A = this chain, B = another copy of it.
Amino acid sequence: MADLDLTDPRIFPVWSETTVRYADLDPNNHVNNGAIGAYFEDGRVRLRTQILDQSDGSTLAGFAIVKTTIEYRRALGFPATVRIGSTVARIGSSSYTLGQSVFLGEQCIATAEIVTVRINPDTGQPTALEPHVRCALERVAPLALDN
C-alpha cells in the first residue's frame, strides 16, 4: 500500500456520511478518538453492504479484524458532518486490508488501515480467501489495486 495516498479523496469508491454528536467531545472539546473509530466502522459496514449486494449473503461471515492503524491529522469539533471514504487497499492469501479516510469538507481528519482475516469457523484459524470473496473485494477497488 506504499503508493496509496489515503488523504486523496479520489481513491475511494465507497462513501458514507455521519453527523458528529455532542457526546463525541472529550474534556478538551475535541472529538475523541473513540468517536473517530465509530465513523470508520460505519464506512466499513457501508462497504460490506455494497459487496454483499454483488455476491451471496454469506460472503463476509467468518471474518475478524486483527489490526487497525489510525493516523489523526486534524482536530475535529462539533457540530459537523463528515464523510468517510473506504476502499480495498490490499488482498492477501487469507486476509485483506481496507484503506479509509474521514473528511470534513476537503480536509482529511484521519486515515485508517484495517486488516481483516478470513477465519475457518470450525477451527477458529485463518484460512484462504475463497475465489468469490476475492472477486467481490477486487470489484470494490480497481483503482487502489492497480498499484
Give A contacts to B, CB under 8 Å.
Answer: 17-19, 21-23, 25-29, 32-34, 37-39, 41-42, 45-46, 64-73, 75, 78-79
Contact = CB atoms under 8 A, between A and B. Distances in A.
Number of chain copies forming the complex: 4
A66 to B, nearest CB: 6
B66 A68 contact: no
Given A34-B38, A68-B69, 9 more contacts: A21-B42, A23-B32, A23-B42, A25-B26, A32-B41, A33-B37, A34-B37, A64-B72, A69-B70
A17 to B, nearest CB: 7
A25 to B, nearest CB: 5
Contacts of A45: 22, 78-79
Nearest to A18: B19
A23 to B, nearest CB: 4
A42 B22 contact: yes
A131 to B, nearest CB: 26
Contacts of A71: 66-67
B68 A41 contact: no
Contacts of A67: 69-72
